[in-house]
Structure 1
Amino acid sequence: MYRRPRPQATHLPEPAKGNACLATARNTFPRAFPILNMTANLYALFASRFPADSTACCIETHDGQYYSWGDIERASARIANLLGSLDLPSGARIAAQVEKSPEALILYLATLRAGFVYLPLNTAYRAAEIEYFIGDAEPAVFVCTPQNFGWVAQIAFKAGTRHLFTLDEGGNGRRNSGSLLARAMHHPDSFDTVEKQADDLAVILYTSGTTGRSKGAMLSHGNIGSNAQVLQQYWHWQAGDVLLHALPLFHIHGLLVAANGALLNGSKMIFLPKFEAAEVCRQLPRSTVFMGVPTYYVRLLASGGFDRGTCRNIRLFVSGSAPLLADTFAEFAERTDHTILERYGMSETAMLTSNPYAQERRGGTVGQPLPGVSLRLMGTDSEGRSAVCGAGEIGDIQVKGPNVFHGYWRMPEKTAEEFTADGYFKTGDVGRFDNQGYLSIVGRSKDLIISGGYNVYPKEIESVLDEIDGVLESAVIGVPHIDFGEAVTAVIVKRPEAKLTTADVIALMKTSIANFKVPKQVFFADELPRNAMGKVQKNVLREQYALPAAGSLTPS
């Protein structure tokens, strides 16, 4: 499926001179980009943009494995044929909780190609979480890592999942393995991509809710394809671009923004299994595009090997999934002569806004609405009626466009609740436009915490904390943190007889939920502050328990 890279010339676009992205020239692209007819399968859109030379490199791994565009086509055809041989119903979900690897991306492409629905799951999820996802989505196929096969099998087969495969992440020069690839090798390496319509479901992304119940955002071939095409033009993807890919593949950022962008542009990807500052610094000179969460940029700035020379061939740095601190934005520009491009999106909508490519990129903002996206801020007028906010006014962010999802999986009431009568999706975020149409996110109406680029909802964590013996009640908040953006922090009221310690709570939480949800810090209080209606005043808690040294915590 792969071979070692052969020596070849690397043609990179001319590096930007100075702080080119602050140029005042107007963007010459029209406000609305032409979108290709999305009556075909999303994979067919990608394949139509693959390079004519199928031997060219599509993916190169950190340890020297080389996957050509022909390899990608043949490997995805084998897996698509395998899936097609399983007699799956139309619209069957293919769930994957696997480590990042080229084969994991190929599984995504094969699922699209075979006309099924891809369901990526965070590799940090534990048994209770996987049990919920399997019960809710009812996948016909579940692909997991070999080391998780035992406990996943117990859950999957009990829930009626018909097929369970394993996929190893490979690495260290060894071939990626597992039962999925072993079975797929017996199938032909050509496949006629299944025809799909723009409204046909392609991907389900689960996003937590304030009630603690995760919701499956249903994204169609048209949702994903239209957004990818807009971003390709808005971010000026070029021939010869090389994407340094350090993001996870189960998240919208790494899969539907980064990987899809490279696939649509026919661009080579350098795949890193995870973000490590030293390895990123080593690979950056061979790349032209890098996308990351704010934590990545903080850690690059803290790396001794990161400077202007490291970034000499980079054309575009993109940040998203969490707010980028103003200090990080400014220090990065000073250190590298590059200004990070911040954008805004979510699982339900893909990308909504972006700072411009050629015009001013403003720190503390997420730019302007993307072409084809209608975004408004809603508040109330002096008489208490719903009204659109003007520049400088704070309001609830609502959006409409071809990128907006089709609803929540098997939750029609919740879907109806989250859309306005005129078709706008209520994001739950609160923002403000400046006089030039740049949007700033000023708050989150649903108490969402974004830690290290991952969404964490307090209610879910509180429900787990409250089950711990000795906990009377709890409140979970996010406090500013220079590395994670926000650190998950728990405030607990113990029962009188309880002997709980911080270490006890964190140890118990690590056995129940994904590591990124586990509180970085735990405080004990005699009582929680409440208003006259009995509601916990989390703003008071945030002030009271703000970290004295924002960078002092280490990942748990």
Structure 2
Amino acid sequence: MKQENLFAALRAAFPADLDAAAVETDAGLVYSWRDLDRATAMIANLLQSLQLPPASRIAVQVEKSVEAMMLYLGTLRAGHVFLPLNTAYQSAEIEYFIGNAEPAVVVCTSRNFGWVSKLAFKAGTHHVFTLDDDRTGSLLERAAHCGDRHEIAPAGADDLACIVYTSGTTGRSKGAMLTHGNMLSNAQVLKDYWGWQQGDVLIHALPIFHVHGLFVAIHGALLNGSRMIWFGKFDPKRVIERLPDATVFMGVPTLYTRMLAEARLNKVVCRNMRLFISGSAPLLPETFNAWKERTGHTILERYGMSETIMLTSNPYDAAQGERRAGTVGFPLPGVGVRVRDEAGQDVPAGEIGGIQVTGPNVFKGYWRMPEKTKEEFTHDGWFRTGDVGRIDRDGYVTIVGRSKDLIISGGYNVYPAEVEGYINELPGVAESALVGVPHPDFGEVGVAVVIPRPGMRLDGEEILAKLKSQLANFKIPKRCFVVDELPRNTMGKVQKNLLREQHKQLFA
């Protein structure tokens, strides 16, 4: 079998000088490439000493740290399957994940050890370790007794590397099975497409239980032999302070809006930056424009999913086109993207339909859910993303929303992103969300939830009155609420399921 272990490819890209800095943390610690090599070997040897079955799941719910990244890399190195869990998950959720994935090893923070270990042992997991963000915990204590040389476990392109549980906005979370080949092919494509070059330095300020921070950012830097400036938590002031020392930054829209609120953000601090990337949630055109004006840089927006890693991207190279606000660019090399109607026919350019994708980055299926997996793929093997969007005549892809967010009001389709776009352009509006709730006459109607800009007062009725002159009547929300903030998940995505739940009795 050809060696396609993702870790082997990342390790092969380490620079010749293993004593050079690989990661520099916000606490002032510096890790060399040799440190990464030795620590991942020790963790892999620890896992090997437990005599686990091949491709055992290693479930991890810990705070962000360089050691947590080493645990991820050590798991790949040992040929096991990494299972990252959001740090916000509580006991009922953790119980579900442990029961569903049946991990051989669970790693948690010391403060959660009491209740996590109970759930794990009850479910039949034999090994529970602790790992904290201050380089302490039983995992490191045990690994310290293991050798620092390790032969990388063989893995084929189709072998499982990770299971990422989707955020579960529609019923129970599903475990997306990603292979070594899925992740390596995507990392290699992005290395070329985003123009990674010698001397690049990445600011890593994202969580690492998610595709964006764990795969896109870390694989990108490691595959390029690039140093990372590592933030345990995002702090806009401290990130801006480090921009002159870096060339690449990856963030979610919330991080960009928080940096724009800082007076120190300007063209001078961004003078050495090569690329700002945004994803995981839609970037408002207004943030895109404000960033360009303040920094002289055009944010590159891209689109991906837990099941597929990255799918599309605005061009890095200006010769391939401009970066357009509100779009997620073109399909990446080797990735197929098509837009189809309910009958499974391609829709004309510029028209809205369901987005389907294919490519070497598309996952193997949902963990222990063969029926669900079958349902989500078309007869010719394309994955139905559940996203709704369009491809314009120039080939740019625009995401209009999730198919589950579509509102069917009196038989008409209402796309929330379209209505939100009009609301967001009204004076005094910072951001909005439109959700569908049950209605006795129309089946479903839209309810708008709006955040005002700082110091502005908004009136819901006035917003609806203004929309009436701009949009067809069936698209006008039936109610509009003005609130201080929208519920968001850790990646900054608005949790529309919570808004729907909150307002579902409105017209009952």
Output the CA distance in 1 between the equivalents of 2:163 and 2:184. Answer: 15
Indicate the residue corresponding to 1:238 in structure 2. 197
Tell whether the 8 Å contact from 1:483 to 1:551 is kept in structure 2 after alignment. no
Of 371, 383, 387 in structure 1, the residue corresponding to residue 345 of structure 2 is 387
Summarize the Cα distance change of 1:554–1:98 in structure 2 as closer, same or farther, 3 Å threshold: closer
Give the drift of 1:386. Answer: 2.8
Tell whether the 8 Å contact from 1:322 to 1:485 is kept in structure 2 after alignment. no
The amino acid that maps onto 1:40 is: E
Give the drift of 1:337. Answer: 0.7
Give the drift of 1:226. Answer: 0.1
Output the CA distance in 1 between the equivalents of 2:154 and 2:398. Answer: 40
Summarize the Cα distance change of 1:154–1:254 in structure 2 as closer, same or farther, 3 Å threshold: same
| Aligned residue runs from structure 1 range 265-344, under 5 A | 265-344=224-303
| Aligned residue runs from structure 1 range 106-505, under 5 A | 106-170=70-134, 176-359=135-318, 360-379=322-341, 385-447=343-405
Give the drift of 1:447. Answer: 2.6
Tell whether the 8 Å contact from 2:432 to 2:448 is kept in structure 1 after alignment. no
Give the drift of 1:322. Answer: 0.3
Give the drift of 1:541. Answer: 5.8
Output the CA distance in 2 between the equivalents of 1:320 and 1:228. Answer: 16
1:530 paired with 2:439, answer: yes
Secondary structure class of the residue paired with 1:318: strand
Summarize the Cα distance change of 1:440–1:400 in structure 2 as closer, same or farther, 3 Å threshold: same
For structure 2, the 5+ residue unaligned runs are: 407-422, 450-476, 491-508
Tell whether the 8 Å contact from 2:448 to 2:481 is kept in structure 1 after alignment. no
Output the CA distance in 2 between the equivalents of 1:538 and 1:143. Answer: 45
Summarize the Cα distance change of 1:253–1:38 in structure 2 as closer, same or farther, 3 Å threshold: farther
Per-residue Cα deviation, 1:398-423 (whole angstroms, up to 9, x for no partner): 00000000000000000000000000
Indicate the residue corresponding to 1:57 in structure 2. 21
Q: TM-score, normalised by structure 2?
A: 0.83
Output the CA distance in 2 between the equivalents of 1:444 and 1:214. Answer: 16
Output the CA distance in 1 between the equivalents of 2:434 and 2:62. Answer: 25
Tell whether the 8 Å contact from 1:373 to 1:399 is kept in structure 2 after alignment. yes
Root mean square deviation of aligned Cα: 2.5
Give the drift of 1:444. Answer: 1.2
Tell whether the 8 Å contact from 1:529 to 1:541 is kept in structure 2 after alignment. no
For structure 1, the 5+ residue unaligned runs are: 1-36, 171-175, 449-478, 492-527
The amino acid that maps onto 1:207 is: T
Q: TM-score, normalised by structure 1?
A: 0.76
Output the CA distance in 2 between the equivalents of 1:98 and 1:127. Answer: 14
Indicate the residue corresponding to 1:539 in structure 2. 446
Give the drift of 1:39. Answer: 3.9
Output the CA distance in 2 between the equivalents of 1:110 and 1:409. Answer: 22
Of 23, 26, 33 in structure 2, the residue corresponding to residue 69 of structure 1 is 33
Aligned positions, number: 443
Secondary structure class of the residue paired with 1:191: coil
Secondary structure class of the residue paired with 2:350: coil
Output the CA distance in 2 between the equivalents of 1:552 and 1:96. Answer: 29
Per-residue Cα deviation, 1:338-382 (whole angstroms, up to 9, x for no partner): 0000000000000000000022100000000000001100016xx
Indicate the residue corresponding to 1:16 in structure 2. none
Secondary structure class of the residue paired with 2:129: strand
Output the CA distance in 1 between the equivalents of 2:302 and 2:66. Answer: 26
Summarize the Cα distance change of 1:149–1:485 in structure 2 as closer, same or farther, 3 Å threshold: farther
Per-residue Cα deviation, 1:62-104 (whole angstroms, up to 9, x for no partner): 0110100000000000000000010100110001000100000
Per-residue Cα deviation, 1:47-69 (whole angstroms, up to 9, x for no partner): 11100000011110001101000
Output the CA distance in 1 between the equivalents of 2:270 and 2:198. Answer: 19
Output the CA distance in 2 between the equivalents of 1:38 and 1:93. Answer: 23
Give the drift of 1:545. Answer: 5.2
Summarize the Cα distance change of 1:252–1:391 in structure 2 as closer, same or farther, 3 Å threshold: same
